[in-house]
Amino acid sequence: MDETEVKTNIKSPVSNKMPLVFLSVLLLSLMGGIFGSFVYLDYRSGGKTGTTFSGTSNVTVQESSGVIDAAKKVSPAVVSITGTTQVQNFFGGTSTSTSAGTGYVVRADGLIVTNKHVVSDSTTQYSVFTNDGNEYGAKIMATDPTNDIAILKIDGKNLPIVELGSSDGLQPGQTAVAIGNALGQYQNSVTVGVISAIGRVIQAGDSTGGSVESLDNVIQTDAAINPGNSGGPLLNIAGQVIGMNTAVDQTGQSIGFAIPVSLVKSALDSYLANGRIVRPMLGVRYVMISKELATKNNLPVNQGALLYSSAGSPAVVSGSPADKAGLKNGDIITKVGSTILTSSNTLMSVITTHNVGDRLSITYLRDGKTASVDITLTESK
């Protein structure tokens, strides 16, 4: 069709009765409508390529596969742990009490690690449910109450296992992935966050406040950790276990804590070598000193371990190495050997690098004066 034919076709419908200016406005309106549709569709698609003019858009969303891969890698080795107890009520009848937690398989023959508080009741029967739906009876092989670690055994073969990574060199801000039996009913729930801080010291207890323990050098994360997640793995983006989820701060939001995997590894090594978890013990109750604590209590130093008694618990355990060495409530331990105690070198983290029977020089402050004493570590019971 040549130019003459085009002009003829445009004019023909109006039979020469439509003014030229009206035709111009009509053409501009049509072009503006088409352009406006393009802009609108492009806006709806976020400016992505692949926009169509039929009212739909083809948008491709690219998502990092790191978290997905980590979850796929580890989930088969994550287990749910349930406890069942028969409880006698006031009228003499019985009812069933249940508890829930999480664990993960570390050996293909059924060796599992979890929190000690998940399996703390000796009268409870514990069952393990693997990710494929199988149920196993569980036997408690060893516990480490000081670090809230327990080792279980089920009668399994060729089970998928986790890869234990390293908790050394963790940095606030790096990705953290938690997997666990959330609320005891949502098995293998995956939550994602970051490492919020390292080297925290917390007082962890159950919901009734009847059992409280101090945990040193724990990892803080904002990955959601709910009741039932205890004992589950905290992962890095490579799908390696860097910690064991153990507690939350119920007064805050998204403040959870995990035991460093270095302690889990040492517990496993000790169990495999000795048939039990052997930990060295000094025998003191303490709090690590911060600048704020030092200022508030008018302490002579702003770092170290302050021995203190609380709620009927003595600062120094009777008959312990610390007791035999003469340490007292109010003493401030500043050094173990040549290692200065700080917020990143806590008393427990330093002691756990030694073995039962090791003899250490303890430097401490009492009434503003520095003294030292040699102490031989004994086994924690």
Question: Residue 325 domain-assigned?
Answer: yes
Question: Residue 267 domain-assigned?
Answer: yes
Question: Residue 69 domain-assigned?
Answer: no
Reported as type and span, the H/E element at residue 268 is: helix 261-274
Reported as type and span, the H/E element at residue 235 is: strand 233-235
Question: Residue 67 domain-assigned?
Answer: no
Q: Are residues 225 and 251 in the same domain?
A: yes
Yes or no: say if 143 and 116 are a contact pair by the CB < 8 Å rule: yes
Range of the domain at 220: 163-274
pTM: 0.73
CATH of the domain at 144: 2.40.10.10
Question: Residue 133 domain-assigned?
Answer: yes
Residue 306, helix vs strand vs coil: strand
Question: Residue 90 domain-assigned?
Answer: yes
**Which domain-ending residue is among 127, 153, 179?**
153
Question: Residue 337 domain-assigned?
Answer: yes
CA 134 to chain centre: 26
Q: Are residues 253 and 323 in the same domain?
A: no
Q: Are residues 264 and 322 in the same domain?
A: no
Burial 16-50 (b: 16+ CB within 10 A, else e): eeeeeeeeeeeeeeeeeeeeeeeeebeeebeeeee
Q: Are residues 268 and 285 in the same domain?
A: no
* Residue positions annotated with a catalytic role: 117, 148, 230
Q: Are residues 205 and 249 in the same domain?
A: yes
Cα dihedral across residues 41, 63, 246, 138: positive or negative: positive
**Which domain-ending residue is among 153, 173, 192?**
153
| Structure confidence at residue 95 (pLDDT) | 66
Question: Residue 71 domain-assigned?
Answer: no
Q: Are residues 216 and 191 in the same domain?
A: yes
Yes or no: say if 119 and 83 are a contact pair by the CB < 8 Å rule: yes
| Structure confidence at residue 64 (pLDDT) | 63
Q: Are residues 331 and 235 in the same domain?
A: no
In order along its 381 residues, the chain shows pLDDT tens digits of 433 333 333 333 333 444 444 444 344 444 444 444 444 334 333 444 444 444 445 544 445 688 999 999 999 999 999 998 766 666 666 666 778 999 999 999 999 999 999 998 888 899 999 999 999 999 999 999 888 999 999 999 999 999 999 998 899 999 999 999 998 888 999 999 999 998 887 766 544 444 456 687 899 999 999 889 999 999 999 999 999 999 888 787 889 999 999 999 999 999 999 999 999 999 998 888 989 999 999 999 999 999 988 777 899 999 999 999 999 999 999 999 999 998 778 898 899 889 999 999 999 999 989 999 999 999 987
Yes or no: say if 179 and 189 are a contact pair by the CB < 8 Å rule: yes
